[in-house]
Amino acid sequence: MKLLKKFSQAAILATTFGLSGAAMADELNLDALLKTLEQGQVAQTAENKAREAEFVAKRNEQDAALRKLTSDRNAQLTRSERLETSFEENEIKLQNLSDTLSKRMGTLKELFGVLQQVSGDASNKFQTSVVSAEIAGRSAFMDEMAAKMGSSSKLASIEDIEKVWFELQREMTEQGKVSRYNAEVIVAGGEKVNKEVLRVGAFNLIADGKYLTFNPVTNTISELTRQPVARYQTSAADLQAANSGVVDFALDPTGGSILGLLVQAPNTEEQVHQGGSVGYVILATGVIALLIALERFISLMLMSAKIRRQLKDTTPREDNPLGRVMKVKDQYPDVAYDTLELKLSEAILREMPKITRNLTLIKIISVVAPLLGLLGTVTGMINTFQAITLFGTGDPKLMAGGISQALVTTVLGLVVAIPTVFLYTLLNTRSRNLLLILQEQSAGIIAERSEKGA
């Protein structure tokens, strides 16, 4: 009991000391906090004053800048008013001067207008003329002259007008000349080669017997990638090789347009290829017919020669149909003439296949070739109409080109059929003549046997 009492007193005493220590610690922390706040307030007050001073200084600077800008704006407004006044005065002066210039020019204004039009037209003409391939720089002068005449502030001098007249006169003069000069020519491989170029007026350019084309944009001369047919190239080579006299030559009055269209036209070989597979079949049958006809012609010619020799000889030979037919008479010397007639007819019929061999095939080819051509035409027209269905009829070249290709097979069929008919007729006539000789001699043999029997 005494121990419990002493422990209670000790605990109360310890609690009292703990509370007193905590109160003393709190009092020390509050003082430090107060002191810190006081110091911070002092520092913030100093910073605020510095910022206020800075703001005041900047505001003064902005006020000064505003006053300066306002002054500049007023100065610019004043200058703008002055310039507007000056512009109006200058417009009035310019109008007065223009009126004075128009009055002083009088009819010269019409002259300069015509000069401008002539210069522009001449420039376009010079650009496309092959004369410019030899004489360059004319188009640039004409363009400058047209621009000068289009400006009302510049007048043409006498020298300018005379030069325009001179260039026009030179163009007309050069159109009637055949000129030779050396120039770089772009050949088919793209390489530039220095060649002697022959200029035929303002129409054509040729070199080494080939036609050339002039590009006014790049001012270059190049060979046509596709030359016209051989007869035109031959005339070009003859003209270039000639030194005097008259040479036949085909001129292109358009300066190359007709020649460009001419070289686009397909040649015979290309037209044949346009016929396609049907065209190739037609040509193959034509070749077969030609070979058969050639073989038959040679065979009948040799056979005819042997028969003519046999007619002059009374001894029958085995190397010709007539000799083999005449040999029947010797094989049956004692039979009646009617039996001999049958034997001779049999011999003639035996020789007939050898004489008329393959003639029927030639006749069939002459009939089938046009039908094959018609077949190719029909299929080509079907393809053409299908193309029209897909792409419409806006391009006439599409229809014309398709129809042209379709008709090629018809032409090929006729080309094969017509000579084949003539060949068949000729060979058939020859074979019939030989058969008539056999029949004639057979009739003579029968008549002779009949006379002996009587």
Q: What is the pLDDT of residue 152?
A: 57
71: which 2 tokens?
A: 């002054």
d(CA 246, CA 244): 7
Per-residue pLDDT tens over the stretch 192-213: 888 888 888 888 888 888 888 8
Q: List CB contacts of 415: < 8 A, sequence separation 6 or more.
A: 286
pLDDT at 70 over 50: yes
Band of residue 387 on the pLDDT scale cut at 50, 70, 90? confident
Q: Under DSSP, is residue 229 helix (H, G, I), strand (E, B) or coil?
A: coil
Q: List CB contacts of 398: < 8 A, sequence separation 6 or more.
A: 387, 388, 391
Residue 125 · residue 171 · CB < 8 Å: yes
Q: List CB contacts of 163: < 8 A, sequence separation 6 or more.
A: 141
* Residue 368 vs residues 84, 329, 336, 343: alpha-carbon distances, Å: 94, 44, 48, 38
Strands (E) across 78-191 are located at 178-186
Per-residue pLDDT tens over the stretch 227-242: 777 777 788 888 888 8
* Residue 284 vs residues 361, 369, 426: alpha-carbon distances, Å: 14, 10, 22
Per-residue pLDDT tens over the stretch 256-304: 667 766 766 666 777 777 777 888 899 999 999 999 999 999 998 998 8
Average pLDDT on 404-431 reads: 90
Per-residue pLDDT tens over the stretch 311-337: 888 788 888 888 888 888 888 877 777
pLDDT at 16 over 60: no
Q: How many whole angstroms from its chain centre is CA 403?
A: 20
d(CA 136, CA 179): 15
Band of residue 107 on the pLDDT scale cut at 50, 70, 90? low
pLDDT at 20 over 70: no
Per-residue pLDDT tens over the stretch 350-367: 888 888 888 999 999 999
For residue 221, what are the β-bridge partners?
185, 214
Q: What is the mean pLDDT of the chain?
A: 80
Q: List CB contacts of 303: < 8 A, sequence separation 6 or more.
A: 320, 321, 355, 434
**The residue type at 320:** N
d(CA 215, CA 219): 5
Which residue is listed with tokens 């000889």? 313
DSSP secondary structure string for all residues of 52-106: HHHHHHHHHHHHHHHHHHHHHHHHHHHHHHHHHHHHHHHHHHHHHHHHHHHHHHT
Number of H helices, E strands in the chain: 12, 5
**Residue by residue, what is the 3-state secondary structure of 287-306?**
HHHHHHHHHHHHHHHHHHHH
Q: What is the pLDDT of residue 4?
A: 44
How many C-beta neighbours within 10 Å does residue 352 have? 15
Give ∠ CA 427-282-426 in degrees, rounded to 5: 10
